[in-house]
Amino acid sequence: MALTFFLAGMGAELIGFGVSTISMSLLPFVLPLQVVIPLVAIISLIATAIVAYKTKTNGLTKLLLPLFGGSLVGIPFGLMSLGSIDERLLATILGVMLILVAVYNLFAKKMPIPYQKKRVGAAVGLMAGFFGATLNINGPLLGIHAANNKRNSAAKRKDIIATYMFVTGVFIVFGHTFAGRVTGTVITHSVLSLPFLALGIFVGAKLFKKLNSLWLRYLIYLMVIIAGLLLII
């Protein structure tokens, strides 16, 4: 588990997401799913809070508002759907969708979707909120959205993703707490994860300084494809 938390922290610092993607792929092998889901929500909240605070870029409000607007619908719907939907089928659908979109965006010369439009941001926010509440997987969707605005610097892309995930993560963790899913076992594992999460963030910060904007886009797409494959498997 220590390696999982370390990799999760490094992913968060490098691209703004990765905590949920990495943790949800590995932790179910060693912990029950009812522990993993709220645990990952908590460590993702902690990691993205640190990354967003450290990055601090300007002009985020107009980019984030449409995303938050969509998530106001997506998060409650996702939390209410827990226990009544086939999570395996949902994960497979999300995995296939992520791979197709990421592969297309890697090779397409022109983006057919106007990612700068507010309505697109709202739609991405709705889906990210829903999948964040049900599967703890919202980072790859935000990664695709942020990476396709080529006017954003590497730091701004990371800041958009981390800030969004922190704010929505507050509501997701509150929802899990209200539903009684944040147990003593979950809190214990959350505390034990902190040193390894912090070490991962520290190493990720060192590596981030060596990345330019183009390579960050490629890294985001690669992470999205890996996330999709892991969800399907």
**pLDDT per residue over 117-161, tens digit each?**
778 888 888 988 888 888 777 777 777 777 776 666 777 878 888
116 in Cβ contact with 107 (< 8 Å): no
How much of the chain is helix, strand and coil, in % rounded to 5?
80, 0, 20
Per-residue model confidence (pLDDT) at position 93: 84
Question: In angstroms, rounded to a whole number, what is the distance separating the alpha carbons of residues 178 and 135?
Answer: 18
Question: In angstroms, rounded to a whole number, what is the distance separating the alpha carbons of residues 183 and 202?
Answer: 29
Per-residue model confidence (pLDDT) at position 111: 53
Q: What's the rounded mean pLDDT across residues 158-171?
A: 84
Instruction: Return the amino acid letter for 182.
Output: V
Per-residue model confidence (pLDDT) at position 96: 87
Per-residue model confidence (pLDDT) at position 194: 92
Question: In angstroms, rounded to a whole number, what is the distance separating the alpha carbons of residues 94 and 30?
Answer: 23
- Selection from 15-19, 38-42, 77-81, 221-225 with the highest mean pLDDT: 38-42
Q: Is residue 218 pLDDT above 80, yes or no?
A: no
- Selection from 100-104, 137-141, 172-176, 213-217 with the highest mean pLDDT: 172-176
Question: In angstroms, rounded to a whole number, what is the distance separating the alpha carbons of residues 204 and 133?
Answer: 26
* pTM score above 0.85: no
φ/ψ of residue 112, rounded to 5: -75, -15
Per-residue model confidence (pLDDT) at position 183: 92
Q: Is residue 113 pLDDT above 60, yes or no?
A: no
Question: In angstroms, rounded to a whole number, what is the distance separating the alpha carbons of residues 132 and 112?
Answer: 25
Q: What is the DSSP string of 87-114?
A: HHHHHHHHHHHHHHHHHHHHH-SS-SS-
228 in Cβ contact with 140 (< 8 Å): yes
Residue 114 confidence class, pLDDT cut points 50, 70, 90: low
